[in-house]
Amino acid sequence: MEALLDTIQKVRERIQKHERALRANEMLTRYALVDPILRALGWDTEDPDVVEPEFRTETGRPDYALKHEGQPLVMVEVKSLGGNIERAREEGFRYCWRKKVPFYVITDGRVWELHDLREMGGREVFRIQLTDKDFGDAARKLMALWRPAMPTVEPMPPWIVRPPEGSLSVSLESLWRQLKPGQRPPQSVRFPDGAVQQVDSWRGLLVAVARWAFPRLQELGRLPLGALIGKDPSRLRGSVELGGSWHIATNFSAQACVRNAIRITRAIGVDPNRIHVKFVPEA
């Protein structure tokens, strides 16, 4: 999931930087926007046993067939950025019905649609846009196409991702949206640079985020940070030292700790969807 989030961030940056070229070139859209997402979902785009490009059907050639046990499971049609997805939808349905392929994806690299064609008329499983502010939800839905889970094709639960080791992982942004009263604190927090910090309380989570972000806060001149980070510990409730005589207030509720952690990440220009916390599954 974390690799997928990192890939989505790169795709977003490419859309912003190269939008004009991507709108004019479908192959560039495939290469720069779509292939990286497929690879992040476990599809080896260089292995024809797994991904077959230009899959031939009686009614046309979808850009890709994603295979499970040697048989097409998902057809993928790619349009150039901003291309006509609606027109491609009907054509793709015909591809899949003729070949009895159960799932169909249409994408222009920014918008992704997944359809279940086992139901009469086709059922839209999801429609997402990778440039939306909360792209953590888009990543959760894209995990419906995670190759190790095949042939099951369904989005992950609303805010929890289950990595292979069985722990529960959620982005900092999604945690803030879904936090429940009385919820136990996380076990650890993972940052975009790969650093992992163990935590044992909500205050510990806030301090871990602050200490990771502290050098960047200094570099950007973002200190003091309101009533949250300052040099006078007597004015900061539950003061904890960060370094260089700077302290952070920590006497907050669980929700306020998460909210303030998000505030810190945004102060250094990091999307809180790129920071993940892990929980021990409840028995």
Q: Which pLDDT tens digit goes with each residue over 67-103? A: 999 899 999 999 999 998 888 887 778 878 888 899 9
**Predicted local distance difference test score (pLDDT) of residue 60:** 57
Q: Which pLDDT tens digit goes with each residue over 153-208? A: 887 655 444 443 444 778 888 888 778 788 889 989 988 887 889 999 999 999 99
* Sequence-ordered list of residues with C-beta below 8 angstroms from that of 27, at least 6 positions apart, any chain: none
The CATH-assigned architecture of domain 2-149 is Alpha-Beta Complex (3.90)
Q: How far is CA 33 from CA 60, 82, 85, 147, 216, in A?
A: 23, 12, 16, 18, 30
**Of 213, 214, 161, whose CA–CA distance to 3 is shortest?**
161
Handedness of CA 94, 62, 10, 15 (dihedral sign): negative
* Sequence-ordered list of residues with C-beta below 8 angstroms from that of 273, at least 6 positions apart, any chain: 5, 134, 135, 136, 139, 171, 172, 173, 174
Q: In this structure, are residues 112 and 128 in contact, taking their beta carbons and an 8 Å threshold?
A: yes
Query: For the ranges 142-151, 247-256, 257-266, which has the lowest average pLDDT?
Result: 142-151
Q: Which pLDDT tens digit goes with each residue over 98-117? A: 888 999 999 999 999 999 98
* pLDDT higher than 70, residue 230: yes
pTM score of the predicted model: 0.59
Domain boundary assignment for the chain: 2-149, 168-279
Residues listed for the chain? 283
Query: For the ranges 119-128, 129-138, 200-209, which has the lowest average pLDDT?
Result: 129-138
Q: What pairing do the DSSP bridges indicate for beta strands 103-107 and 71-78? A: parallel
Q: In this structure, are residues 104 and 114 in contact, taking their beta carbons and an 8 Å threshold?
A: yes
